[in-house]
Structure formats: structure tokens, C-alpha cells
Amino acid sequence: MEQERTLVLIKPDGVQRGLIGEIITRFERKGLKPVGLKLLTLSKDKAEELYSPHVGKFFYDYLVQFMTSNPIVALAVEGNDAIELVRMINGATKPMESAPGSIRGDFSIDITHNVVHASDSPENAERELRVLFDDGEILEYQRIDEAVLYGPDL
């Protein structure tokens, strides 16, 4: 296991539906540590930068429009194998393929309005975190239960 940081976005539909607390709670209960958090309206420039790997794909323009339509929550989380854990908690991108108990399995039925976004690799996590968080906005601290979660040799 390796300590990682990754990005989670609560998309406009998740914010509008009042799911912010529920979603953050799921990550915390799994043992992931929030290290950065903000509510914002994503600018078109930031949305285009965030989703730049998808330029030219049929869904790109609609995705940028949707992600800038209403506030989102940007959440930086940290923990052992955080990228894989977050993606498991989120569920499959296609909600109909998401297991019950996952965020998408419980709260979404549309591939774009699927409540959350998560980085899919260490490289994308690093790039995406830089898009959403400025220097000093991601904090370092130790949770009181980290020795229980990860063992005493942290």
C-alpha cells in the first residue's frame, strides 16, 4: 500500500441534490483523509484544462457546459491506495454498471450527471489537483486514527 493524494469532484448535480455531506462522509468512513476542500463555480477555462484529455470527444463540450453550470465541491483526499479506493467508492462511470452501495450506484442514472468525478491515475491526480488547488490549499496533518487504520509504523 502506498500513501496517495487524489481529487474528487462533487459535480453540480450532487451539490444541487444536497449530497455533499453524504459523499464526504463515505470517504472519511473508509479512512481517507480530506486534505483540501472548497466549494466553487468552475470557470470555463478551468473546466477545459481539467478535461483537456477529452478534447475532441463527442461529450467534451457538454461536459464542460455541465461542470460550469452550477457550483461544485473540490475535495483532495489522502490515504493508502487513495486513487483506487476513491474509484471503488464512487462506482463505475456508467451508473447502470455501478454496484449498489457505491455513490453512483446509489445516486445516479446518467453518465454525465453521475454525481462525482475522480482522478484515474497518479499522473492525472497530480495534474487535476494542480488545476483545482493553489499552493497552500492542500494541508498536511495526522488523523488521530491513522495508527489504527494503517498500523503503528506510519
Neighbours of 68 (CB within 10 A): 17
Grid cell for residue 72: 461544485
Cα angle, residue 70 at apex, residues 122 and 134 outer, rounded to 5°: 40
Positions annotated as catalytic residues are 117
- The set of cell numbers assigned to 87 is 474509484
- The tally of CA atoms less than 13 A away on the side-chain side of residue 105 is 12
